[in-house]
Every structure is written in C-alpha cells, then in structure tokens.
Amino acid sequence: MSAVRAHDLFHLYRAPQGDVAALRGLSLEVADGEVVSVLGPSGSGKSTLLALCAGFARASSGTLRLLDTPAERAPARDLARLRRSSIGIVRQHYHLALPRELTVEELVTFPLRLAGRREPGRAAALLRAAGLAGHTRAKPAELSGGEQQRVAVCAALAKRPRLLLADEPTGELDAASTAVVVDLILELAADAGAAALIVTHDPVVAAATQRTIHIRDGRLAAEGAERPVLIVDEQGWLRLPRRLREAAGVQERVRAQASWGKVELLAEGPAVRPPSAPAPRLEPEEKRATEVALDRVTKRHAGQERPALSGLTWAFAPERLHVVAGPSGSGKTTLLDLLASLDAPDEGEIWIAGERVDALTADQGAAFRRRVVGYVSQHSTLVDFLTARENVELGLALRGFDADEARRRALRALTAVGLDELAERRADRLSGGEQRRVSLARALAPAPRLLLADEPTAHLDRVTGRIVIRLLQEAAHAAGTTVVAASHDPDLVAAADSALRLGM
C-alpha cells in the first residue's frame, strides 16, 4: 500500500506575469512507512509537492492519492479529516509554527484534541523520547531553536500519523540540533509506522533517509535509494544516528581504531571540558594593525545566566573569508552584532580598521557602518513592492550614493549574485533563495571594507549555497573585503580562509 502515489502531477498558480507551473508532470510513490527526502534547488517545486500532499492546495492536473484517498477530487472536508487524523506536518520556521500561548505539553496534545482523541501518556512518552521531559510546562519562547523543533516533531507525530510531511525541518538549526531532530523524526516515524516526506537542502538529512528524490523544474530529476547508516561529511566528520549511539553506549566521545576497510569506534566516558585557559591579550599596536580585532570581549544578554561571549580574543585578517561557526546559542550572531556596532560588549575592546568601535553611540555606530560595514542579517527583509534593483538601490541611497551611481552599482551587484535577469522583478515575487541573494547584493553593492553575513546560506539549496559561498570568496579575495560570516554550513566552513568556532 502507498502512502503517497502521484502521477503526472501539474500545479499552476497565478502570478502577475502569468500562470506559473510549480509542478510539471511529477510522478512519485512513497510506500507506507518509507522515509523519503526531497531535494532540489529553490523554486523547483518541493514545497508545492508538500502543500499538495497536505491538502492545502489542489493539483491542476494528474492524480494524487494520499493514504488511498484520491486527493485531486476528494472534498476539502475529507482532506481536512485526513490531515487531522493521519497526516503530521513539521514546518521549517518552528518559531512561527508553534503557538506561543500553549505549553509544550499542550502543544503536543493539541493535535490529538483537535482529532477528538484522548491518549493519556502519549505526550509524555513523546517528550521523553525527544529529551524534553523536563520542559512540559515551558512555553516555546523558553526553549532553544532545536528544542522547539523537537516539540514540533512530537506534536506532528502525537496522533500517530500514517504520513509525516516535513518542510526543511532543520533549515534553521545548527549541526548538533539537526542531528537530534533528524534522528527524532526517523525514530518516531518508525515507531508510529509513518511514511515521511522530508523536504530538505541538507545532504546530511537526505543521507539519513531511506530514499532520496531530486526535483528540478517541477519534475522528478533523480532518485537514490541508498541508505547510508553513517555519514562522513565534507569536512570528514562522521555522524552517528542517536539510536545507533545509544545502542552502542556511545555518548559524546569515541575512540576510533582504523584498519584497512573499516573504522572501529569504541565508546569512551563522558567528555570533560578542559578548564578554559585565560584568553591572551592583544597588544595595542596589534589591535590597530589588525583588520578586525577582539580583545577579551564579553557579552552577556539580559536574563541569561551564561554569557554569549566570554573573554573572546580573536583577530580577523583583512581580505579574507572568515567563518564563525558553532552550535545555536554559541554567540555567533552576537559576535557579528558587536562587530557591526549594533550592540556593545560588556567588557573588552573591538577594533576594526584601526578604529575602536566597542563604545560608539548609536549615531556613531551608524556612521561607522555606513563607512565600513556591509551587513546581511539572518532574517534579512526586502521592501516587497520594490524590484530587486530598487531594493539594492535603496540600500545604496541610504548610504548616500547618488541615483546614477546607485543604479550602476546595483546592477553590478545583482549580476554578481546571478540575478541580473530578475533585476526588475518585485521582491515579493522572488523565491526565498533569490531574496537572500538580493540581500547579499545589497550588502556588497557599496563595496564595504567589512562584510558581516549571518547565516548567508541558510534556506538555500546546495547549488545556490555554493554560488553564495563563491560570491563571498570573491568579495574577500578579489574585491578586498574582509568577510566574516556566521554559519553552521559545512560547505561555507570548508570554503573559509579561517574559522572561529564558538561554544566548542
């Protein structure tokens, strides 16, 4: 029996420039209990496929059977009933997907209540399995991103769905959280006997699933059915699924013994962090001479016990691509904010281009950024009714460029990020990846001395991600910009000239 059986699916949607085909004859079958990851570039139709499978949209033509229900002609009421009883959904933006008013326990039981079912103990069991047993009364805002996404997975699987649909469930998570969430999805789906369709850009996630399909231009482009149990990523790190780790009694560290054709892993005791050594100080001349220098910088956020950054001393060389890596909450974004003078450290000094910037007023900070810094925030927003070019021009106008120069630079920057053909398209009609690239173009257009980019490749497919990475490299090496990017993208980490790992 199939959980999903799609044949020759077409889906058209109305756009100002005419009807656009998101799916063009896609055929796919997902067996009961099968876990399938869906990969593809931005705009290839992955999210549309999930929307069809969730019953949120209807196929324009073709057939789609969901759990033996003909979705293309079933009444909306039947599809809603199917969704309520047998389909679980995990969204990418966990912070938007979870109602902030409910507690963790309420969130997990809510789908059951909506379905009119009562299963005492189900929520507790799921939360226990997700390692959230101690957070049942917490509200989502009190949890980390990974924890929130785990809550979302528990909620999606609480009703024991026959089909789980997950749209980039790890898109906003660091590597460690990603591994946990992926394991949880696989494990709980297996427990519930649910088929799963997981849209992802992350090859690590894809590799963990039984089967991988690639979508391009709305069609099935390729399919791989290998199921590697263990993954060696591009940096050579080996990832072990949690179930396997637990079965082997592996906790945080293993000892590896290699021989030809095999690697033997031996469990070790709990890892012990080495006592943190006092950070070395930078000499004054060193600070002035270095492009970006941090001297024993400490930053503590209100209401948090642990400082986000504690006594960090670091120097970023000029005209290089630097990556700040680390798990969620390790202080990556905080560091970028401090470098951009958007926030001030509690202690320590920050020197950029020979200028001390840790104690600037808001106006001074703005003037400094206008002169020196290009900034791409994680949730960068564009003005939706302006075109891509006009958005970049607006950024330049705010920096004081005249209209002609702004137009010239904007076109050049858009060409550099590969969007020259979409320069006149309104921002709200660009895909998420394209919008991200416009944000990058906006930051690069004024040719800043220092470019700060927060998760520049998040939500991008791998191809686009690589384009962005190449852009950052070119900015650093060819345009003479010092680039500091906060990211947990292994590709970016690998491509960087240097990496500062926080929270390790």
Partner 1 sequence: MRLLAPPVGFALRRLRARPLQVVGLVLALAAAAGLVGWSSVEAALAQETSVRLRLAERPPGARSFRVVAFTQPGAPDRRAEIERAFAGLRDVTAPARSVRVWHSIDPNDAAGTRLVTVRERDDLVLESGRRPHGCRGDVCEVVVLTGNEELGARVPLRRAATALVVGRGRLRTGILPSTTELGARALYVRSVGGPLAPLVRNDGSTVATAAPLRPLRVHAADLPRLRERLRRTIARLQRGDPLVRPGAPLSVLDELDRRGTVARRRLLLVAGEGAALIVAFAAFAAATRRRDRERAEEQLATFGASRAQIAVARAAEVALPAAAGTLLALGGLAVVSRAEGVAVPSETVWTIVGVAAAATVVLLAAGAPRRARFGLGALELTALTALALVAWQAAATGALDANRVAARGAGPLLLLVPALAFFAAGVLLLRLLPPLLRAAERLARRAPVAARLALVGAARSPAQAAAATTFLAVAVGASLFSLGYRTTLERQAADQARFAAGAPWRVVAPPAGDVTPLTRFAAPTPALRLDGDVLQAYPRGGQVPVRVLALPARRLPQLLGWRGGFARTSRGELASRLRPQPVRLHGPPLARDARALRAWARVRAGEPRIVVAHLLLPGQRFAHVVLGVATRRWRLLRAPVRDLPGAQLVGIEFASTSGSPTFQYDPRGYLELGPLEQLARGAWTPLPPLGSWREAQAADGATGYLAAWDFTHAPVERGIRFDFNGTLRALIHPKLGLPAPPPGFEVGAVPALAGPPAAAQAVDGTVTLDVAGRQLPVRIVGRARLFPTVLERPSRFLVLDYDTLFAALNGDRPGTALPNEAWFFTRRPAAATVDARALERRLRADPLAAGTESVLGLAGVLAAALALVGLVLASRAALADDRLALAEYEALGVQPRSLRRSAQLRLVAVSALGIGAGVLGAWATVRVVGALVAVAGTARRPLPPIVAAIAWPQAAAVLVAVGAAGVGAAAFLTARALRAPAARRLRA
Which of 227, 243, 306, 379 lies at the binding interface for partner 1 (CB under 8 A)? 379
Residues 335 to 354 in contact with partner 1, rule: CB under 8 A: 337-338, 340, 342-344
Residue linked to tokens 């990020």 = 417
Between 351 and 375, CB nearer to partner 1: 375
Is there binding between residue 102 and partner 1 (CB under 8 A)? Answer: yes
CA distance 471 to 459: 17
Is there binding between residue 295 and partner 1 (CB under 8 A)? Answer: no
CA distance 284 to 110: 58
Which of 41, 62, 395, 433 lies at the binding interface for partner 1 (CB under 8 A)? 395
Which of 191, 267, 403, 501 lies at the binding interface for partner 1 (CB under 8 A)? 403
Q: How far is CA 141 from the centre of its chain?
A: 18
Question: Among 66-74, 152-160, 323-331, 462-470, which window interacts with partner 1 (CB under 8 A)?
Answer: 152-160
CA distance 310 to 81: 52
Between 252 and 428, CB nearer to partner 1: 428
CB of 472 to partner 1, least distance (A): 18
CB of 385 to partner 1, least distance (A): 6
Which of 7, 65, 81, 160 lies at the binding interface for partner 1 (CB under 8 A)? 81
Q: Which of 481, 391, 370 is nearest to 442 (CA)?
A: 391
DSSP 76-129: HHHHHHHHHHHEEEE-S-HHHHS-TTS-HHHHHHHHHHHTT---TTHHHHHHHH
Between 87 and 254, CB nearer to partner 1: 87
Which of 37, 42, 290, 333 lies at the binding interface for partner 1 (CB under 8 A)? 333
**Cβ contacts of 120 within 8 Å, gap of 6 or more:** none
Question: Among 155-163, 181-189, 217-225, 473-481, which window interacts with partner 1 (CB under 8 A)?
Answer: 155-163
CA distance 309 to 348: 11
Which of 11, 46, 91, 239 lies at the binding interface for partner 1 (CB under 8 A)? 91
Between 329 and 465, CB nearer to partner 1: 329
CB of 371 to partner 1, least distance (A): 8
Residue 204 contacts residue 231 (beta carbons within 8 Å): yes
* Helices 388-398 and 432-444: angle between axes, nearest 10 degrees: 30
CB of 378 to partner 1, least distance (A): 8
CA distance 181 to 128: 14
CA distance 4 to 220: 14
Pairing of strands 450-454, 373-376: parallel
CB of 386 to partner 1, least distance (A): 8
Which of 119, 191, 223, 384 lies at the binding interface for partner 1 (CB under 8 A)? 384
Residue 7 contacts residue 63 (beta carbons within 8 Å): yes
Question: Among 76-84, 142-150, 184-192, 414-422, which window interacts with partner 1 (CB under 8 A)?
Answer: 76-84
Residue 384 contacts residue 396 (beta carbons within 8 Å): no
CA distance 175 to 183: 12
* Residues forming the site for partner 1 (CB under 8 A): 56, 76-77, 80-81, 83-85, 87-89, 91, 96-102, 110-111, 113-116, 155-156, 159, 333-334, 337-338, 340, 342-344, 362-363, 366-367, 369-371, 373, 375, 377, 379-381, 383-386, 394-395, 397-399, 403, 442
